[in-house]
With several copies, the nearest count.
Chain A
Amino acid sequence: MPAVPVARVRGEPLTWVPQDLYIPPDALEVILEAFEGPLDLLLYLIRRQNLDILDIPIAEITRQYIRYIELMRELQLELAAEYLVMAAMLAEIKSRMLLPRPAETEEEEDPRAELVRRLQEYERIRQAALDLDQLPRLERDIFQVAAQPPPMDQVRPLPQVELDELLRAFSQVLGRAEMFSHHQVQREPLSVRERMTRVLEALEGGRQVPFGALFTPEEGRRGVVVTFLAILELIKARMVDWVQAEVYAPIYLRPAGEMAQAEDGA
């Protein structure tokens, strides 16, 4: 009788099927490739024959398992090492099953127990994966609603700064400059520096301002002293110039270098 191919595997005709494997021939390759590992293959063998997972006929299953592995090798399917490890484990269980069990060790665990536990655990996860695949999901069953957003003025928020960040930055920079000293901080009241800024503002635009006009008597003695110190600082640092036409004439303050510039230009 001529050998009629029962299936094509990777394009090659397959003319035989192991006798005890009952597989629709055209599904052979698909099935062999679809196993997710030795546990998956074992479960397939058990479920296919409606066997009870809790009472596996280990000799029979081992025989079938090894035939499958041989088939996979023959078809040159990639065979993960785990399949061989399982084959060894099955052989070991089989041999332990054959040993007579002494009466006093009746409590000893069934050699299959560990395998059964693993098969059950894997079967649960295999089912969970199928269930997960059945859940309605985005891209397939669920679509996120998306309407066109209204025209918007994009607000770009400005960075926020806390006051203590500023203080920390100040202390860090002074620390780096080795100018950090308690003494210095107390010596330099900020009111003077602030007043320096106010005086410069008063002179802005090259205005010449009478010395006396920079004082606000309502501020009292302290305020007057602060202004005076500020003016002295400004003059010392060459931030302002002071001019007096003649002795006892009114003193004027003006922005530093203004006159010099004007003279240069002349």
Chain B
Amino acid sequence: MTPQALQRILEGALMAAQRPLSLKEMESLFPEAERPGRDELKAALAALEQSCEGRGYALRQVGSGYRFQVREELAPWVSRLWEEKPPRYSRALLETLALIAYRQPITRAEIEEVRGVTVSSQIIRTLTEREWIRVVGHKDVPGRPALFATTSGFLDYFNLSSLDDLPTLAELRDP
């Protein structure tokens, strides 16, 4: 077997394996009669490593053997393959946000009164973490409930210069 043929076989096996391959595993790819020696194997791996220079991946030795790895500097592009589809907000969340936007400053109890159902803490937390709403004060009634209002981050996200730019219900009815 020529060094080139050996190199090609090793490359193919390392590319197909989906796990690191030890030298022993690489040896076992060959029937005994044509099994390369350790030195031959290592020389082929070194040549393989060199041949990847300038390519999108590299041969790396890790704990359990050798594997091909996509180059780290390509992560910004490659990672987009796994980018999750953005989840969608629930109707409850959107209604809560809408009430805070259109009726601010507003307490949770007032939101619940209009919506007819409880507003989960999770929704308030999500909207707060997104920095779309914040507590701007407390109402002077028993329990001193927090007053929620939208933030400038909210305006920025929806590309509004002020709340006055929010569409009115009339716009919904006559598009």
A and B form one complex: yes
CB of B138 within 8 A of CB of A141, answer no
In the complex, B43 has a CB within 8 A of chain A: no
| Interchain CA distance A180-B169 in the complex, whole Å | 9
| Interchain CA distance A122-B82 in the complex, whole Å | 36
Chain B nearest Cβ from A177, distance in angstroms: 5
Cβ-neighbour of A163 out of B67, B81, B95, B158 (below 8 A): B158
CB of A143 within 8 A of CB of B91, answer no
Question: Contacts A37-B116, A239-B147 given: A170-B104 contact, CB under 8 Å?
Answer: no
| Interchain CA distance A39-B117 in the complex, whole Å | 9
| Interchain CA distance A165-B101 in the complex, whole Å | 13
Chain B nearest Cβ from A84, distance in angstroms: 12
CB of A110 within 8 A of CB of B175, answer yes
CB of B167 within 8 A of CB of A193, answer no
Which residues on the A side are within 8 Å of B12 (C-beta)?
143, 147, 150
In the complex, A49 has a CB within 8 A of chain B: no
Cβ-neighbour of B159 out of A82, A127, A137, A166 (below 8 A): A137
CB of A149 within 8 A of CB of B70, answer yes
In the complex, A216 has a CB within 8 A of chain B: no
CB of B84 within 8 A of CB of A156, answer yes
In the complex, A60 has a CB within 8 A of chain B: no
CB of A190 within 8 A of CB of B102, answer yes
CB of A167 within 8 A of CB of B172, answer yes
Question: Contacts A148-B67, A173-B99 given: A138-B156 contact, CB under 8 Å?
Answer: yes
Which residues on the B side are within 8 Å of A2 (C-beta)?
none
| Interchain CA distance A118-B84 in the complex, whole Å | 39
Cβ-neighbour of A145 out of B68, B104, B136, B160 (below 8 A): B68
Which residues on the B side are within 8 Å of A37 (C-beta)?
115-117
CB of A171 within 8 A of CB of B172, answer yes
Which residues on the A side are within 8 Å of B70 (C-beta)?
142-143, 145, 147-150
In the complex, A47 has a CB within 8 A of chain B: no
Which residues on the B side are within 8 Å of A165 (C-beta)?
94
CB of A80 within 8 A of CB of B117, answer yes
Chain B residue nearest to A137 (CB atoms) is B158
CB of B102 within 8 A of CB of A125, answer yes
The interface bits of chain B over 22-43 (1 if a CB of A lies within 8 angstroms of the residue's CB, else 0) are 0000000000000000000000
CB of A82 within 8 A of CB of B105, answer no
Chain A residue nearest to B144 (CB atoms) is A257
Looking at B86, B91, B139, the one whose CB has the most chain A CB atoms below 10 A away is B91
Interface positions of B from 113 to 170, Cβ below 8 Å from A: 114-118, 130, 136-141, 144, 147, 149-150, 156-160, 162-164, 166-170
Question: Contacts A36-B92, A143-B78, A256-B139 given: A125-B72 contact, CB under 8 Å?
Answer: no
Question: Contacts A124-B169, A166-B97 given: A144-B136 contact, CB under 8 Å?
Answer: no
In the complex, A159 has a CB within 8 A of chain B: yes
| Interchain CA distance A153-B76 in the complex, whole Å | 9
Chain B nearest Cβ from A259, distance in angstroms: 10
Q: Which of A3-11, A64-72, A94-102, A196-204 contacts B (4 or more CB under 8 A)?
A: A196-204
What interface size band does chain B fall in?
35 or more
In the complex, A194 has a CB within 8 A of chain B: yes
CB of B98 within 8 A of CB of A166, answer yes
| Interchain CA distance A151-B69 in the complex, whole Å | 10
The interface bits of chain A over 206-236 (1 if a CB of B lies within 8 angstroms of the residue's CB, else 0) are 0000000000000000000000000000100
The interface bits of chain B over 53-83 (1 if a CB of A lies within 8 angstroms of the residue's CB, else 0) are 0000100100000011111111100110111
Which residues on the B side are within 8 Å of A140 (C-beta)?
75, 79, 86
Which residues on the B side are within 8 Å of A122 (C-beta)?
114-116
CB of A145 within 8 A of CB of B57, answer yes
Name 19 extra pairs, CB < 8 A, besides A159-B86, A159-B89.
A125-B95, A127-B170, A129-B98, A132-B97, A137-B157, A143-B69, A144-B67, A145-B68, A147-B16, A150-B70, A167-B98, A169-B98, A176-B115, A190-B166, A191-B164, A237-B139, A239-B140, A255-B137, A255-B138
Q: Could you list which residues of chain A lie within 8 angstroms of chain B, going by C-beta atoms?
A: 34, 36-40, 54, 80, 82, 86, 110, 112-113, 116-118, 120-133, 135-161, 163-174, 176-177, 179-180, 182, 185, 189-191, 193-194, 196-197, 200-201, 203-204, 234, 237-241, 255-257, 260-261
